[in-house]
Structure formats: C-alpha cells, structure tokens
A and B are shown apart, each in its own frame.
Chain A
Amino acid sequence: MAGGWLNGVKRDFTKEEALKEYFYFLADDSLVLGQQLSKWCSNGPVLEQDIAIINTALDHIGRARLLYQELARLEGGDATEDTLAYFRDHLQYRNALLVEQPNGHWGDSVVRSFFIDTFNFYLYDALRSCNNEALRGIAEKAIKEIAYQAQWSAEWVVRLGDGTEESHAKVQKSIDDLWMWSGELFEEHPIFEVLKDDLPAFSSFKDHWVKKVAEVLKMATLVMPSPELWMQTGGRYGIHSAQLGYILGEMQSLARTYPDATW
C-alpha cells in the first residue's frame, strides 16, 4: 500500500483531525458539485430543467455552507465559511474526484449526479442517527433535498437510457466514462477507523449503492460496468485531477483579488 500515486500522503490522524477531515469530505463534495452544476444556469435543454438543475446546485451550495460553518467552529481562529471555501488550495480540498469531472453534456452531468446523489442518499440517511449533533441536524435537513435529487437524476438516467437510440448510446458512454470515478466514494480511509464509534465509514454504503444503481440501470435498459474494475483515487487525500485547479481558480478569483474586502 505504501508505493504508487498516493506516495507521501498523510495517513495518521488524531480523533480531532479525523473529524475535521470527515466534514471536509462532505463539505467539499457539496461545494464543488454545486459549483459545477451552477454552470448549467441558462444552458439547460429546456427551461423547466434549467430551473430543476439550478435547484440542485442551490441545495448543494446551501449544504456546503452549513458544513463549512461547523468546520469554521472546529478550526477556530479566524476561519469562516468563506475563508474555507475561498482561501484553501487544491491540495487542501478533500472532495471525491467524481464531482470535479467536467459537466460534459446533459447525460454526463446527469450520470455524475446520479452516482453521487445515490451515495449521498445512503450516507445522509445514516448520518441522521450518528453520534455528532451538528451532522445529525444537517443530515435531517439535507435528506429531503437529497431524496429529491436522487429521484431527479435517476429519472433522467432512465429517460435517456430508454429514450432514443442516440440518447441511449450517449448515456451508456457517460456511465462507462464516469464509472472509474465511482469507487472512490466507498474507499477505505484511515479516518474511518479513528471515528468508527461515532460516524459511519463510507464503505458501508457500497452494497446499497451497487444494488440501487443496478436497479435503475436495468430500468434504463443500460449495462452496468463491474464494480470490481480499477477505480481512481486521491481526492480524499488532496491529490486531484487537473480540473480542480480551474474550478477553484474561477471560483476564488474575485475573493482572492480583494482579500480584505467584505461582500
């Protein structure tokens, strides 16, 4: 396990560090995905869906704020939701690689959402009864939004899969292309062992996720790749794809140009 692409990453965590890391996983997933989805604004295939996808972006960014607010409290000092979002570099971001993948076409974005929404559904459902009060509160609020998001993206996968020949081929390619980023959602990470008495390990949702994804893809007449294929890794350790630099560069540009300003 020592050699390879992730050589040199931090693997020892105190309980306090591990808890913050857990929050960063959730917060950064929400922010980066919300940022990506917001780019659909004025670019959707039909006005009603422009509104629907903006809605999911709003939910993700709203959730990110709640998580960063709690993180700011954990970090202490001058940390705020905005210093955490705008003044951390890609090495400090802990989002899964899946959410930083480009929007691509509607099918690519829908599949990316479908993978993460389905994961989020089981994760946040479990967090409603975890041993962290702040997370329980956030999860209770978020689960309703996530249930809607998971339904929305699953319905689109079915519609595209069982739509026209063209849409079927396109969305099958989206699934095949994005599949290698899905395994990271469930991978083992040293923080889960440290936190095992209080918070669920993400690997515990894998079976549910595989079952649900298989079910939806069957309805969509699409082929599911094997969950045992080689999966990409790195996001949870701050080792990202090249896309994240551009995403953060755009998002942080104004805030960093005027670091003393309040908005």
Chain B
Amino acid sequence: MGTNVSLEDKFQAFVDAENKVEPKDWMPEKYRKTLIRQISQHAHSEIIGMQPEANWITRAPSLRAKLILLAKVQDEAGHGLYLYSAAETLGEPREKMIADLQSGKAKYSSIFNYPTPSWADMGTIGWLVDGAAIQNQVMLTRTSYGPYARAMVKICKEESFHQRQGYEVVMKLAQGTPEQKAMAQESLNRWWWPSLMMFGPSDDNSPNSEQSMKWKIKRKSNDTLRQEFVDKTVPQAEYLGLSIPDPDLKWNEERGHYDFGEINWAEFYDVIKGNGPCNKERIAHHVKAHEEGAWVREAANAYAKKQAARKEGDASAA
C-alpha cells in the first residue's frame, strides 16, 4: 500500500513538472481509464459526427461546396483514426471501443444527436460546433498524455480550417438572397444552445473535472471554456448580421465578458440519456454499416492470411 501511494505521488510530481506521460510509463489505473474514456469518446464523436454532414454531400449546391464538404468529412474520419490509435496505446483494442459505442456503453458528443435538415447547417456546424470543439481541443494540445496531445496538434490545425470554411458558408448565406439569409438565421437559432451544451455540465455539476484538472488531462473548466467560446462567437455573429437567440445576452463591462442566459439542462441530460432526435438513428446507421461490412472484413482477413501463408511457403521452398 505504501509503495502504491509513493508511485502515485511520483506520478503527480511528474505531471506537475509539465512532463508528458508516454504509453510505457507507469500511470494510475484511474488515469488510464479516464483517458480511454475521454479519447474513445472523442474518436466516436468524430465518427458519428460524419453522419449529419454526410447527409448533405450528395445535395451540396455547388461542385466547390461538395468538394469542401466531402474533404471535411474525410478529415473527420482521419481524426477518428488517429484518436482510436491514441486510445489503443493505452491497451484498449479498437474492436472493443466500437462494440462499446454500439452498445451505448461509450458516449459521443451529444451535439450529433440533432438532425441537419438545412444546407445552412453545414455552415453552422463548422462555425459553432467545430468552433466549440477547437476551444476544447486547443487546451488538449497541452494535455499530460503524450500521444493524445500530439494527435490534438494535428487535429486542431484541420479543425480551424474547417471552422473558417463553415464560417464562409454562413457568410455566403448571410450576404445572399433573403431566403438564404433566413436559412442562416434559422440554423443559428437551432444550433446555438446545443453548441453551448457541448462544453458539458456547469462546474458545480461536473463530477470528473476536478481529478482531470489535477492530472492536467484538462486544463480549463467547462464554464471557463464556454465563456471563452461565447466571447469569441458573439462578435462573429454581429459581423454576419445574424442575431444570437438569447434575450439575456449582453456585454458585462465589469466582468469583461458577455453574460448569457441559462442553458436548458433538462434537454442536455435527456439528449445524453438517449432521448435526442437522432440518438437511435446515429447508432443504427453505425451498426448497419458495420454489419454490412462484416463479410468484406472477413474476406480481407482471409486473403491476408492466404498471402502470408503463400509467402511462407515461397520462403521455405527457396
């Protein structure tokens, strides 16, 4: 018991000195578990997040917009891949993570449980959802676990690019015909609050936060990140001539920040629990693709085995 305490103290001192933890280093089991949970959740968010945007690829209104959207969704698949790999360095196999996603044991960002009925959502998601994600991910580039921090550096670069592209889509709508402008406003009305919810529960109600901050997995609280996002985004909406759907939103000179209204926490928790408009659809889509691909994966494995056996046969013959 004494030895355990000392290892944990050593680990804390190592992290406090701003060292990066690497896969082969000793780490508390709870640190490993927390990271697996967080990184796999992040990977699943990238993968499930492909669906609401893929929904518009075939209907994108110009070839340029189609290419940009397709490339963006491809980047998200790539992010999912890095993140699954980062989680695998902690000893969690990808098949298990996918099984946990499909069984509902593992979560993904609740924002993707909302539908994308409008083309404007392709802009708003880039602007707000990727914007909120960046707020969180910039912090994570300095997270204490090395492989996660390094994956985040690469992902952040691409995410800021996506955010600019999303903002450009909204800008074209906001400066377009009256119908296009209405499309942009309607989309902002729907996505504003769910975007604020992306930062998670308020600090008073965030059970995992304190330990994560201590281990430097997380470096800023949910409420701090949320405030930074609001402060950054309000002027962007003003520039577009769009109004943020919050009557309580106003600049607070004293605090040097925007005050904003109360989030509908009942909605937040219900969507997490599985009661959002698309929770069932998203998982069903993932399961369907996975099941329909089973024979393909089996064929690829069988072929790879045959090839390996043939090589071995050649080598022993020679």
Contact partners of A158 in chain B: CB under 8 A: 303
Interface: A136 (CB within 8 A) = no
Roughly how many angstroms separate A169 CA and B300 CA in the complex, as a whole number? 15
Roughly how many angstroms separate A55 CA and B50 CA in the complex, as a whole number? 15
Q: Considering the complex, which residues of chain A in the window 35-57 have a beta carbon less than 8 Å from any beta carbon of chain B?
A: 35, 38-39, 41-51, 54-55, 57
Interface of B: prevailing SS:
helix
Interface size class of B (residues with CB under 8 A): 35 or more
Cross-chain contact B73 with A54 (CB below 8 angstroms): yes
Interface: B119 (CB within 8 A) = yes
Cross-chain contact A47 with B81 (CB below 8 angstroms): yes
Closest to B299 in A: A163
Interface: A14 (CB within 8 A) = no
Shortest Cβ gap from B39 to chain A (Å): 15
Cross-chain contact B296 with A167 (CB below 8 angstroms): yes
The count of A-to-B residue pairs whose CB atoms sit within 8 angstroms is 137
Contact partners of B59 in chain A: CB under 8 A: 250-251, 253-254
Cross-chain contact A255 with B70 (CB below 8 angstroms): no
Interface: B172 (CB within 8 A) = yes
Cross-chain contact B70 with A48 (CB below 8 angstroms): no
Interface: A263 (CB within 8 A) = yes
Contact partners of A105 in chain B: CB under 8 A: 292
Interface: B196 (CB within 8 A) = no
Q: Considering the complex, which residues of chain B in the window 162-179 have a beta carbon less than 8 Å from any beta carbon of chain A?
A: 169, 172, 176-177, 179
Closest to B43 in A: A47
From the candidates B67, B179, B298, B300, name the one contacting A65 in the complex (CB within 8 A): B67
Closest to A45 in B: B293
Contact partners of A35 in chain B: CB under 8 A: 58
Closest to B172 in A: A263
| A-B residue pairs in contact (CB < 8 Å), sample of 21 | A31-B63, A38-B57, A39-B57, A41-B50, A42-B50, A45-B292, A51-B77, A61-B67, A65-B67, A82-B63, A86-B61, A86-B62, A106-B293, A160-B296, A163-B302, A163-B303, A167-B296, A254-B59, A258-B180, A263-B61, A263-B62
